Structure 1
Amino acid sequence: MSRHAYAAHERLVAPVRARPQLWRLLAGLGVMAAVVLAMNALVLIAIETAVPPGRRAAMLAGHSPQGMIILLASFGFVTLGVAVAVRLFQQRGLASVIGPAGPALRQFWRVARVLAGLALLLALLPPYDMGTPLLANLAPGLWLMLLPLSLGVVLIQVSAEEILFRGYVQQSLAARFRSPVIWMGLPAALFAMGHYLPAEAGANAGLIAVWSGAFGLLVSDITARAGTLGPAIAMHFFNNVVALLVVALPGQLDGLALFLLPYDMADTGPLRDWLLVDFALMLVAWLAARVALRR
């Protein structure tokens, strides 16, 4: 990959170059974790105070609409933690992590429009279920009523993850190391580790982590090409709207989904087939995002 392809990345990295020491990144991650833990503890206290014991487990696992809304909205604490970290250790604001507001918004909408068109095209194709018909979850009327709020909290969640991984971590590493193998590869590896869930996914845990790492590399690439987090947030948003609001896996994080797959995360048969389809769609979405940025 030529450095010219990633020239726009410099406007995200430049604010960090005066303070590129790795201890600043590590200390900032520690502060961010402390902020997230403290704020989530307050939320948990509020839930334990307001929610009957019999409903708490389902709410905390995201089985109900209320639980999913609280869970996704709580990712805003990650954004808050990053804002504190970059201010303390890199003497910059959160806006510099995202990139210039105008270009970021324009790039977000360019990519979002293209991906929405791709989703519409897929929806118009002949139906396919790979032998696994979907199960109804939320009533359509309730799903539509909740949709604006659902989209909002998904946007909070994906923005927080991009601000952390493709923002704070990637930019901090790029200010210290020249090789994209490091500043793209390490955030993707951390992102994959965060999605390694052997207790829930069983034998599929490694495959899901690899899928997540590949997604992390693709959004790192699109961020470096764009010079803002806008396109990465749009790609992540497209992926999670489908996975959390349209067709979810049963058992966890399914409280806002219209449909459920008829198997869980640990199923080694159909889930692996769906992951292959999902991987192909991920590549198509990445290529579509690259095309959108050239327009």
Structure 2
Amino acid sequence: MKVGQVLRSDEFCTGQQSARAISFHMSYEPYEALIAPARTKASILRLIFGIVITALLYMLLLRLSWQVVLQVSGPTWFEQTMQIPGPSSPSQMFILLGGFGFMTAAVSFTVWFLHHHSPLALIGDLARAKGQFLRSAGRLYGVAIGAFAIATYGETLLPNLPLIQWLVLLPITLAFLFIQVSAEELVFRGYLQSQLAALGLHRFVWIMIPSVIFGLLHYDPTVMGEAAPWIVLSTTVFGMIAADLTARSGTLGPAIALHFFWNFCSIGLLGFPDYLGGLALLSYDFSIMDGEKLISLMPYDAAFMLLAYLTVRIALRR
């Protein structure tokens, strides 16, 4: 992704070039709505402290919840949920996705306690965010058929959940997916990205740092083998796209919509039989641990991502 930069108007920059540069720069102007609240308490030490507080509080709440689940469900079910490659039943998936609610709680506490402003400021204007989310989601819904065709081209698909069960669970699946994707967007784009931007750093820095961290957190060679670095690259690019959409829109609405759509396709619609596939209608006929096969899907993944990004960009223009 190319990052625009305003050029100085001098003898080496024609008026036409300057106008084009300024026009591109202006596309990030709405982001000031998210940067301004962060700027009041912006410092690198405060940000580092905030990241530590958020991570520790999230892990603490998650571990406490696991103890509750262990007591209620028993050790056998709990061990199956924590197995490698990953959970593959609806109940296990709901536990996993629901745990991201603690991430939202953790970053909300950090913003309130350390930065002294409302956690809602991480989202931006709520009415605008809602409108942008709905417009983006509506357009992405229209792309779903094409995206599904890209993802399944030449692949053998297997039935996973029975259609009736999938439809019954669908409202709950959507709710829990929303919990998961909104938590990640609040942390990486709403908090970390905006805090870095509030420090006055170049946009390349505040786009790349959260995106690279987001990508590295998806590095799992135990499960994905030789495909693990490619998954990191893919999720890093996704983070850059979400960062760009956030800066262009001035809210988290479009990034949440894109993330929600992406995860619904890969978790709620088409999944893997042995990894996060408990809520999917269909599944691939190969394991997540087949690294060579995963790598062969990367071009389709990239095409899907580009199509989704352009779709949201078009939606934001209206």
TM-score when scaled to structure 2?
A: 0.88
RMSD of aligned C-alpha atoms? 1.6
The verdict on how the C-alpha distance between 1:188 and 1:122 changes in structure 2, with shifts beyond 3 A counting, is closer
2:287 equivalent among 232, 252, 264: 264
Distance apart, 1:264 and its partner CA: 2.3
Matched, 1:118 2:140: no
Equivalent residues of 1:263, 1:271 under 8 A apart: no
CA contact (8 A) 1:133 1:261 kept: yes
> Which TM-score applies when normalising by structure 1?
0.95
Partner residue in 1 for 2:185: 162
Offset of residue 23 of structure 1: 1.2
Secondary structure of the residue aligned to 1:260 is strand
- Aligned counterparts of 1:209 and 1:253: Cα–Cα separation in 2: 17
Could you tell me how far 1:128 is from its partner in structure 2?
8.1
Please report how far the alpha carbon of residue 130 of structure 1 lies from its aligned counterpart in structure 2 after TM superposition: 4.1
Unpaired runs of 5+ residues, structure 2, are: 5-23
Verify the 8 A CA contact 1:195 1:212 in the aligned structure 2: yes
Contact 1:114 1:292 in 2 (8 A): yes
Q: Does 1:52 align with 2:81?
A: no
Match of 2:237 in 1: 214
**8 Å Cα contact 2:268/2:281 also seen in 1:** yes
Distance 1:22 1:59, change over 3 A: same
Aligned length: 293
Amino acid at match of 1:288: T
Instruction: Please say if residues 196 and 206 of structure 2, whose CA atoms lie closer than 8 Å, have aligned partners that are also in contact.
Output: yes
The structure 2 residue matched to 1:66, chosen from 91, 108, 117, is: 91
Which has more radius of gyration?
A: 2
Partner of 1:294: 317
Tell me how far apart the structure 2 counterparts of residues 63 and 8 of structure 1 sit (CA, whole Å): 41
For 2:29, give the aligned amino acid.
Answer: A
Tell me what 1:7 maps to: 29
Q: Is the 8 A contact 1:58 1:64 kept in 2?
A: no
8 Å CA contact retained: 2:216, 2:232 = yes
Match of 1:247?
270
User: Which residue number in structure 2 is paired with residue 224 of structure 1?
Assistant: 247
Once the two structures are superposed, residues 111-151 of structure 1 have per-residue CA deviations (whole angstroms, 9 ceiling, x without a partner) of 0000001114555x6x9844431111111111110000000
Structure 1 residues 23 and 248 mapped into 2: Cα distance closer, same or farther (>3 Å)? same
- Structure 1 residue 275 corresponds to structure 2 residue 298: yes
**Structure 2 contact 132–253 (Cα < 8 Å) conserved:** yes
Percent identity for Structure 1 against Structure 2: 36
User: Tell me, what secondary structure is at the counterpart of 1:266?
Assistant: coil
Residue 64 of structure 2 corresponds to 42
Q: 1:26 to 1:118 in 2, by over 3 A?
A: same
Which secondary structure state, in structure 2, belongs to the residue aligned with residue 264 of structure 1? coil
For residues 10-29 of structure 1, the C-alpha deviation after alignment (integer angstroms, 9 at most, x for no partner) is 11000111211011111111
- Is the counterpart of residue 76 in structure 1 residue 101 in structure 2? yes
2:115 maps to what in 1? Answer: 90
CA distance in 2, matches of 1:263, 1:177: 47
Q: Deviations over 1:39-60 (max 9, x none)?
A: 1122111121111332222234
Q: Aligned equivalents of 1:31 and 1:128: distance in 2?
A: 39
Query: What does residue 107 of structure 1 align with?
Result: 132
1:141 aligns with 2:164: yes
Work out the CA distance in 1 between the residues paired with 2:47 and 2:77: 39
Offset at 1:280? 0.5
CA 1:251–1:46 in 2, change beyond 3 Å: closer, same or farther? Answer: same
What SS is found at the alignment partner of 1:269?
A: helix
Structure 1 counterpart of 2:248, one-letter code: R
Equivalent in the alignment of 2:49: 27
